[in-house]
Structure formats: C-alpha cells, structure tokens
Structure 1
Amino acid sequence: MAALFRGYRNFYKRSNKHVELILVSCRSMASKTPVGFIGLGNMGTPMARNLLKNGYPVIATDAFPESCKELQDSGAQILDSPAEVAEKADRIITMLPSSPNVIEVYTGSNSILRKVKKGTLLIDSSTIDPAVSKEMAVAAEKMGAVFMDAPVSGGVGAASLAKLTFLVGGVEEEYNAAQELLTCMGANVVYCGQVGSGQAAKICNNMLLAIGMLGTAETMNLGIRLGLDPKLLAKILNMSSGRCWSSDTYNPVPGVMEGVPSANNYQGGFITTLMAKDLGFAQNTATSTRTPIPLGSLAHQVYRTMCARGYSNKDFSSVFQFLREEGA
C-alpha cells in the first residue's frame, strides 16, 4: 500500500508539473497575440522581422505595396490599410518617415483611429515633432486607445540585429506592455516621461550626432590636406581626447573602416534628408523655447545645403565628401 501511495504521489507531482507547464505555455501563447506594424521601410522591415523571430504574428501594411513583399515572405500577413490593421490587432507599432505621414496613418481617411479597438496600445517609433506626438495621444485617448512615442537611436544595422535603443514617452503604467514588444527589437528601452519626451530625447541626441559627424569630417579633411594618412589620423583621434562615435565607430572617410556607409559610397545607414529633418525639429524647438543652439543651427544649414546638392539619399556621413567637393 505504501508503495502504491508513493507511486500515486509521484504521479500527482508529475501531473502537477505538467499542469504548471501547460499554464506557463498558455500564458506565453496569450502574450504572443498578433502585433500590427505600419511602415515597412529600411528600418521598419527588420524591426517587424525581429517580432516574427520572437514568435509574434505580425499584421502589416505600407503605403507602397512593393515594400511589403520581403516581410510577407518572412511570414507576416499583409493588409491594405492602417484601418484594416487596427481591426485585427490591439497592439500596433508605426515606423514612418515624417510628421505628415504619422498624422495621415493615425487620423486620415483610412487610418488607425477609424477602426481602433478600445484599449489598443499604439507605439510610434517614427522621429517626428514632439507636438505631433502629443496631438496623436489626445486623438487616441478620445477613441479609448493609448498612444506612446518611442523613437529609436541606431541605424539599419542595429535594427537588423535587434540592437536599437528606444526612447519611450507616455503613460508610465503602460510602459511594461510597450517594453515587452520593444525588447524584441532593441537592446535598450528607456522610459523618458510623458508623451513627447521620447521625441525630445531623440532630437537632442541627433543634434549632437550631426555636430559630432560634422566635426569629425572637418577634422579628417584638414588632416588629409596636411598630408596625414587618414587611417593613421583616425587611430590618433581614437586614442586621444578627440575620440567620438563618429570617429571610432562610423568614420566618414572612405577606406578607414569596413562595414560602414563610407565604405560603400555612403549607401545605407541614416540618409541626409532625415538628418536635415531632425535638425529642423531641433531648430524649431530651440526657437520656441528661446534656447541658443549655434552649432545645431550650423549643422542644420549644412545638411539642408547637402540635400539641395544631391546628397539627400546618401548617408549623413557623406558630409565628408560634401566638404571635400566644396574645397576642391
């Protein structure tokens, strides 16, 4: 009888363990409900693919149907409009080029907020004017949805490797729900405060990035004109006080580093027109808050000029090539 009881007890323990495993599995499966993704450009496609890799079914759309094929081949369901995505998903991520695109996708004639379900979490990873993020949050709240801004730092390479940094603004109580998805696409997720604060942090970061890249390009150009070998000069900078991300990780001089846009005719990466856009946001915000940004304003002027001179679709590190041509 004792042996029989021990056998029953062991069976009961094993059964309980099995039940626990089933419950854990069910909870995991419950969290992997479909995620909507709108905006399948150079950044959006690898971001959405990383959601798929983490087991999330993805329902996606883009204004350009040809942009959807790569993600569709990876297993995503492709729909025709943001409104259709909103009908089928209660967590939606958007990754769009500019403020007007965000306004259209959220509030246009066939937009998310036309069909959004109450309680839906909306995460916008576009880099836009903080005031637009706040407007979208108000519009979403009227429909019973929650809007958070979560712009990213890191380029296409970081998006592909799920190493982006997300700067999140919104209702703090919703941060954990957003973090669950964002950690599938990034190495760092930082809560910055209320809606719009993520955009504010991104604008500040990109202004410094532009200033740093412009300074690195000027320095490298001067050194080369003085007869220094560019690889030697980069080595000296990177072991000295002039070292920065633009010199040691993303050097703008062709031939100095491999695996960066300057090694590929400035293709890929973060294009000049987007840097000019972000610097414009910094300029507007500085003007409205009466904050002097002399170097930020100069960088904005340089990148706007580059766009007018045919550099729009080249990586922003092509400022080195621009300066070389200006001085030729």
Structure 2
Amino acid sequence: MSIIAFIGLGRMGAPMAAHLVAAGHTVRGVEINPAAAAAAAERGVHIVPSAAEALRGADACLTSLPKPEHVRAAYGGDDGILAHAASATLLMDTSTVDVETSRWCHTQAEERGLSFVDAPISGGTAGAEAHTLTFMLGGRDDAVDRAREVVAPMAGNVIACGEAGAGIAAKLVNNMMLFIGVMAVSEGSQLAEQLGLDPKVFWDVARVSSGDSWPLRTWYPVPGVLERSAADNNFDATFSVDLARKDCGLAVHAGDVTGVHLPAARLALSQLDDLIAEGLGAKDCTLVAKLASPDGTLRGYDPALDRTLEGTRS
C-alpha cells in the first residue's frame, strides 16, 4: 500500500487520515495542535514533526488547513511541501481557499515538475467520519486519475470538475449556495415556530415538499428534530461561524472578481459577521437562526452555558 503524508489533522483531517489508515496505507501526519495530534495518533496516524519527514518516500500528500494563508505557508518556503516533495509524489489540497491560492499551488508545483490537484471536499465532519465526503477534483487528467484512487477510502462521491482550479471553484459556489440555504431554513424554522407549528411536523412537511434542502435535512436549527444536531447541543460547532464566514467571503470575493451580482450571498455574509461581532464565531453557523427570532433568543441556545463566551464576560 501507499505512504501518504497528511498535513493538518483537525476535525476534518483526522477522520480522513484515519480512513486512509484503515484502508491499509501508512499515514504520516503533521499537526501543530498537540491535542489534535494525539487524537490522530490514537487513530493510527504516525505523527512526525515536519513536512520534510512526512514527505520522505511518500506517494501522495494531502493538506487540510483552515485558511488560504495557511495553505500558502505549508506549500511555500524552504521548509514547505514544494521544497521537499519528490517528482513522483502527488500533491492534493482539500482545504477551502480562494481560486487565486489554488492556482498558485498549481503553478508553483508545475514549475518544479510536480503534480498538484485541488481536491476540496463537501460533507462536513459527519461526512469525514462516515467516509462519505464529496471530492471535487481539478487538475490534469493524469493527476486527477491518480487522485481518485487516493481519496476513495474517504469518499462517497468523487467528481472531476475540470482543469486547475475547477475543483475549488465548484466548492466555493456550492458553499455559497449552502449558506444562502441555511439562511432560508433559519427564517423558515422561526416563522413556523411563531405560527405555532409543531417543529417536527413542519420539518416532515418541508422535507417532502418544495422547501426541502440539504441544510433542512441535515442542519435544522430547532432542537428535538434531528439526531446529533447543533440545536440539541447548545449550537456547539459542526461547521463554525468563523469557517462559514471565511468560505462565504471567498465566494463573494469571486463574485467581485467576475462581476457576478450576489445579493443573497452578501446578506448571508453580513449575518455571519453579525454573529462574529457578538463573539459567537466559534459556535455553529446555524446559530444565524437567532437573527430571525423576534427577540433574538433561540430555543436550544443558552448563552449562560456557552463556554466560548466565558472570556468576553466582565
């Protein structure tokens, strides 16, 4: 089986790497958070101190990092991935970044005779654990074919989206639509509550009617409707406001670059900014439902139980 370097073992990277281990691969991981590194090690990942060591003899290298600047730092510089990858090592970035950063990775890799595929993912932490993620691949046909085999143990769907940057472009558009959908479900859930509808009954109606959507079926922001929902856990993050804001902001930036008008996306972005201004960036993005509530309170959310606010209390 293959040797795979995995850079970034957070809430997405750790279960993804664990599925590669379960498939029989040797996975060498790099993670700066000690607790996250220890958790990944418990799942069979060999933790090493540097990208250079992780890449030694590696057949493939995957990165799963929070922001574009982290991706550029991981790939660039004397200690970066590009400096230590062998010509036979396939490089893949699963992070959600701007199109410019993804194309930079492709260009930098090509200049060094390396193969790079942008390979962003959809499905969230639940999909990462269940190895049902959708991978959106962009790059040369031969590299994409190799990437299909590498990601198979983590994936429910693998879609070749086109040339360099096509995968990340598809991801940004998809996530923009997701956050607009979250806003619709948030407003609908609160209006249904105020009209006296039983939340589970209304959810059953919407799920088989024209109001159906992925965020309705997966992230409905009312407690007692879905198993393991953020609404049943004081809106602790499955997909944080901070990360949602980053992804939505990247999509709006793409709209600025291309001249596409995105009024709904801008409204979703402004609502995420409102939550961040309240100190709620670490909470789940479906907490935007409280912005639709008549008095700003939300059933299922108790600020007094919110550990993320402890540091902001006077």
TM-score normalised by the chain length of structure 2? 0.90
**Aligned length in residues:** 297
Q: What is the letter of the counterpart of residue 170 of structure 1?
A: G
Gaps of 5+ in 1: 1-31
What does residue 269 of structure 1 align with?
238
Cα 1:72–1:239 shift into 2, 3 Å: closer
User: Residues 22-61 of structure 1, C-alpha deviation per residue, up to 9 Å, x if partnerless?
Assistant: xxxxxxxxxx121110000000000000000000010111
Q: Which of 287, 295, 299 does residue 318 from structure 1 map onto? A: 287
User: Residues 216-266 of structure 1, C-alpha deviation per residue, up to 9 Å, x if partnerless?
Assistant: 110111121122222222222223221222222321112222222222122
Contact persistence 1:266–1:318 (CA under 8 A): yes
Contact persistence 2:237–2:285 (CA under 8 A): no
Paired residues for 1:3-22 under 5 Å:
none
Are 1:187 and 2:163 matched, yes or no? no
Q: Distance in 1 between matches of 2:282 and 2:124?
A: 14
Question: Per-residue deviation at 1:108?
Answer: 3.1
Q: Distance in 2 between matches of 1:239 and 1:193?
A: 33
The 10-residue stretch of structure 1 (137-146 or 231-240) with the greater mean CA deviation from structure 2? 231-240
TM-score normalised by the chain length of structure 1? 0.87
Q: Which of 277, 288, 293 does residue 308 from structure 1 map onto? A: 277
Are 1:127 and 2:81 matched, yes or no? no
Q: Percent identity?
A: 36
Gaps of 5+ in 2: 298-314
Higher percent of residues as helix: 1
Q: What is the letter of the counterpart of residue 250 of structure 1?
A: W
Question: Per-residue deviation at 1:213?
Answer: 0.9
Are 1:150 and 2:119 matched, yes or no? yes
Q: Which of 171, 192, 216 does residue 247 from structure 1 map onto? A: 216
Contact persistence 1:165–1:186 (CA under 8 A): yes
Contact persistence 2:249–2:269 (CA under 8 A): yes
Q: What is the letter of the counterpart of residue 96 of structure 2?
A: T
What does residue 61 of structure 1 align with?
30
Question: Per-residue deviation at 1:326?
Answer: 5.5
Q: Which of 70, 78, 90 does residue 39 from structure 2 map onto? A: 70
Are 1:176 and 2:172 matched, yes or no? no
**Root mean square deviation, CA, Å:** 1.5
What does residue 202 of structure 1 align with?
171
Question: Per-residue deviation at 1:293?
Answer: 0.9
